Structure 1
């Protein structure tokens, strides 16, 4: 039977100091002052238009991403969070995460972020080597990243993520392991460690830098996994590692095919309509100026997921998790009988890509060749 899954909220702040050459997110270099009041007004009005579909459910997690959310003041976030709490119940243990750029870090401002209710930070460090940061177009240096982390720990942020890339231009295995060891030594509760990929519509796509060869990338990954394990980090998703019990609740909800509202320029959402059994995705208009024109619709598009799409939509998320998910979650979060997966599931088990158990869980081989595994369910 279909059950309403946990509910999360994603808030998109679309501005940054400058656009990084590898970034394909909906972010825009800030010209002039941040239109904070107008944007918060728009966010709350956008949320108002989602309320009917929420059906009185509490928020389990809230993630503020970008862009560079740490360009916005604590007062702006206070107004936003208070406005949201007037409209929806926050779970008692709600996780509220904000992405932050070390180049915008100020001790007093981040203390105020904590005071208004933000209880988890995700710091976009990417590297602890100045030449690599310069190649990535980042606005901070390695020293600023270290100082920001020490400061946020002193403030009392005891739950934070470090975003770290590998496979950078000119990077050797030694370079990558230096970055990873530095991050581990700084004692975050969570690490997002992922390979730089070249995406369309980025500067790197039109002017691709020289990246490490496949053998070097494999060496980085193998030795990196060992280093993370020694540092007490458990890999629970393709590029996510945490100390025990410190997985990112918000991202877990995505991967377990939970529901989430997306507000802000270019934000995406996925919601379940219990009355009709429909699951739909929607997305908001991308350009900030258009988004803040509240006489126009915030929503740029919406579509219902068809029955033949649901198996691959579910598996694309669930199989990112090392432990997968209990098999009954498929029925609970899609409303479909598990039998619709039977043929593909048996084939994946015979291929050694899926565990033969009461979980939908990739084997080690399945994790290494995830695209091959997913093709079976497509």
Structure 2
């Protein structure tokens, strides 16, 4: 059978408003353009690798906010890869509704958009049958699966779905290993979960189930490289590789501020932590941790502004420091404060992991409240 390569992506969410944005309007315009650039990079990859197929497993165009100019731009971009068949399975953020651009504008001949019912399409050059289905509306609670042609041919499924245990309920097309197992697919191209993951089934064809993750970060949980999946079919089977396509990365870091006496010192500490220009060219969120003097105020917006002046592209600083107490002195006191610390020590000695961290935070919050009450009572 003729070998071929397909590219699998999902969850671009073009024209989705950037939630929680704290930068300028100009920065926001740049960020919106970066999502477009990532889409263009995916098409460039398809052309460079001579991909026979591009599978987009839903949440491609944000239904409520995508603009007609964006859709027309997407269509023009697709015209750049006329030799790659594009197959789109709409998701819960871009369902195949009568008021969607999927139905209201003409798409190029080499682009096919799956409807709300299962379809299958056979490509004889590769002895490949592709099964696909889109969301008909914003929710799909039932997971009806297609009937499978028994012929000896390659099989691929593309859908936007929640893949998990059979007992797990979801409003977004719940799909389980047990349901996919007997279908004997070669590759199942999913969308919906923004983190990449792979599952290999123990059926005859060793079905490969894959979430590629979002190709460009949409929230702070989506850090690091963002990739698409490249899947090659040849005489030896199905082979998976990934390639980074993001225009910018999101990164989240924790910086210890213990011992800082001034906001300027805090800025210097961050600059020393990230000296390289490449480390400053990403979207970065910094959690400022540690113990600082009680009278030190670390204003996150002010620190972010200083860092941008020093070459950071975009940075959010969250002050999560705790006041520094002389615990040994306070613990030795006979009053309420000393008793509180000793009791918290006893509880912490019996705790471990996350509970110990919670108790430590509770200790400092409690001391803050107790000492503030003492000050007000004087």
Greater relative contact order (Cα 8 A, min sep 6): structure 1 or 2? 1
- TM-score, normalised relative to structure 2: 0.32
Q: Compare CA radii of gyration and give the structure with the larger one.
A: 2
- TM-score, normalised relative to structure 1: 0.32
* Higher helix fraction (1 or 2): 1
